[in-house]
Structure 1
């Protein structure tokens, strides 16, 4: 089980770390998208939203790769995965496979680190 967790953590970390670097350095192209998707992404790039998301992807991916503060990395990457899935469901369904694979890895890692998330599901959490 430890090997499966390590493989999932490194794969997910590599995907997000590399995607963050590519997005920050503006190495990717937005070609081949529907008109609505291109307009949406152009607006996000113009307002530097994608730069912020790329930084979060970079930090979350790095935390997973290093193996320290993995639950924080998973929390950072969760909303990004939701946005990736929504983008592909609403704009570009054929590209959803990578998002689904990353979501499966994320859910598996959340389950593997479930004891770290125990406090989030407490009905009456303690206050110090």
Structure 2
């Protein structure tokens, strides 16, 4: 988990410098940034809260209904506005269904790009 935040090389160096793979021991050294030292405990806390929110005082949570989507694979790059129109949804809705699409088109050099569309479209 620390490597997700700091990078694999940085954590490998921290393990080597500390002489241990125990995160909690490495955390007590200067081998990792404060951001990375705090990242793992924050992630663990978020997981615990997500598993039992009421235990931690989160009692008035309104959950959204799960999205009812199908996933299709595109063989070639396509403009997002064209995909939204074909799926029968607004551009904004389509982007919400596909947060990995950060540009105006699907990635130009990728084939079989997974795209979420409303179920049955």
**TM-score (normalizing by structure 1):** 0.26
Greater relative contact order, per chain length (Cα 8 Å cut-off, separation 6+): 1
Q: Would you tell me which structure has more strand in proportion to its own residues?
A: 2
Greater helix share, 1 or 2?
1
Bigger Cα Rg: 2
